[in-house]
Amino acid sequence: MAINKSKVAVGFIVVGVLTVFFGTLLTFVGPLIIDDQVVKNTVIDPKNEMSYTMWRDVPVPFFMSVYFFHVLNPKEILAGEKPMVEQRGPYVYRKRIQKDNITFHPNSTVSYKEYRSYYFEPSMSVGNESDVLTIPNMLVLGAAVMLESLSVPVRMIISMAFKTFDEGPFLTKTVGELMWGYDSKLVNFLNKYLPGMLPSSGKFGLFSEFNNSDTGLFTIHTGKDDIRNVHKVVSWNGLTELSYWRTPQCNMINGTAGQMWPPFMTEESTLPFYSPDACRSLELVYQRSGKMKGIPLYRFVAPKTLFANGTDYSPNEGFCPCRQSGLLNVSSCRQNSPVFISHPHFFNADPVLLDYVHGLSPNEEDHGLFIDIHPLTGVPLNVSIRLQLNLYMKRVRGITETGKISEVVMPMLWFEERGYIDGPILNTFHTNLVVLPAVMEYMQYGMIALGLATIIIAAFVRYRFKCIIYQYSRNQTISYNLLFQRKESSSFIFHPIVTCKN
């Protein structure tokens, strides 16, 4: 019976060794299995139902919050005084995104158009679309700067045209009209006799060209041939480079379309993406790691050099003519209108810009942009893109509507586009990319621990059984010797029982 138990102990030792072996093997194979699943599920392929649907329809709720800078002293501005503004809002819109005209190509690329539409959310807004605000009139003050190179007599004729069409230097309109368009006799005249001069062929509004529109024809990599290229832009509207800017580097179309990125990111990774609205490629940099409801993430933010001018950051020289750092001149892709993009409240911009306008107070928490990425898959978990629209305005001789306006980059509005993964998608994400890898990790170390414990216990039991057998054999020998000695001699000789020593 003892021999049978010894064999059982040996069997357990073998099982323990095998368990340790497979546990150790799993520590090497497990990450490879997870990486392989990540690759399979991040390739843009209709067979990947969850990830493909997520890419095509973007089911994550997206919202655009718009904050207007209501002008408090328009008359004083025309007299040369410093502008005073008051932030109003947010006016929140639900953004719906859907890809259409999806066409897969043999070279592992896919083309599509992405359509967007906006729906006002009164419950999330501070105010209503019927609120009345005053902002600079881009049609007048923007045109004045654009036409400054013309002769004074021509500018005077233009000024008379503004008066004829009842266009003044400032607009007092409802939020809905400012956002999506209002009737303007001047706009109707320009669209009829000078088509193409304005970005919109209908009503003139700051976001009229965005609603119910597409962002252009994108062609991107599917990742089938190389997962490191997934989501990266091949071309936009058939272009592999832009023509808006002054250098080849600034005209490059880099990175993705701004919704997903290749997997397996590190702290050295960056987030490059092409934005048709900004007319250029942008790149965010790693700031810190963190977690969102247990899911690990990397936060990427805009570097201070993003909108720096060519003097402070030489690679941006191609985006000039520049003004102060913190301003991106987008006039070259906005019909030469003197429009500048910046961070809200001139965050991360030259402090002198704050001296020109009363009512601004920049801070990173409210005005910095960021994207939180799950580094293993390249999927954004939480996004907040914040940008400000500014109008460069000044006094232009011959155009009386400009009065004595001091030269200033005037903030008009800023907006935040934000979205985050939540609900069933977040639960599925958490299960597949957090829970299952954790279970696999615990399982591999559990197998190693169980195997080692089995080996130790089985070895100890077998060792004890060997001692018992050894003691049993010795005792039998001692008994035989005692019996023999009794026969040979009448004296009694004591032989101690042999014990096992460690």
Query: How large is the average pLDDT for residues 405-434?
Result: 84
Would you say residue 109 has pLDDT above 80? yes
Q: pLDDT tens digits for 2-24?
A: 456 666 666 666 666 666 666 67
- Would you state the pLDDT for residue 390? 97
- Would you state the pLDDT for residue 232? 96
Of the chain, the percentage scoring pLDDT greater than 70 comes to 77
Residues linked to residue 408 through DSSP beta bridges, in sequence order: 393
Would you say residue 489 has pLDDT above 60? no
**Three-state DSSP state, 92:** strand
Query: How large is the average pLDDT for residues 264-292?
Result: 94
Pick from 84, 88, 58, 90: which is nearest to 72 by CA? 84
- Would you state the pLDDT for residue 440? 65
Query: How large is the average pLDDT for residues 444-469?
Result: 67
**Which residue shows structure tokens 């039991």?**
461
- Would you state the pLDDT for residue 205? 86
Q: Retrieve residue 269's tokens.
A: 């990774």
- Would you state the pLDDT for residue 362? 96
Backbone angle region of 405, left / alpha / beta, with phi > 0 → left and psi within -120 to 50 → alpha: beta
Class of residue 247 by CB neighbours under 10 A (exposed 0-12, middle 13-18, buried 19+): middle
The DSSP string of 287-310 is EEEEEETTEEEEEEE--TTTT--T
* pLDDT mean across residues, the chain: 84
User: pTM for the complete prediction?
Assistant: 0.82
Residues linked to residue 100 through DSSP beta bridges, in sequence order: 113
Distance CA 308, CA 320 (A): 10
**Which residue shows structure tokens 């529109």?**
213
Of the chain, the percentage scoring pLDDT greater than 90 comes to 55
- Would you state the pLDDT for residue 246? 92
Choose the weakest-confidence range: 13-27, 59-73, 218-232, 293-307.
Answer: 13-27
Do residues 353 and 361 lie in contact, with contact meaning Cβ atoms separated by under 8 Å? no
Cβ neighbours for 118, distance < 8 A, ≥ 6 positions apart: 64, 93, 94, 95, 96, 207, 210, 211
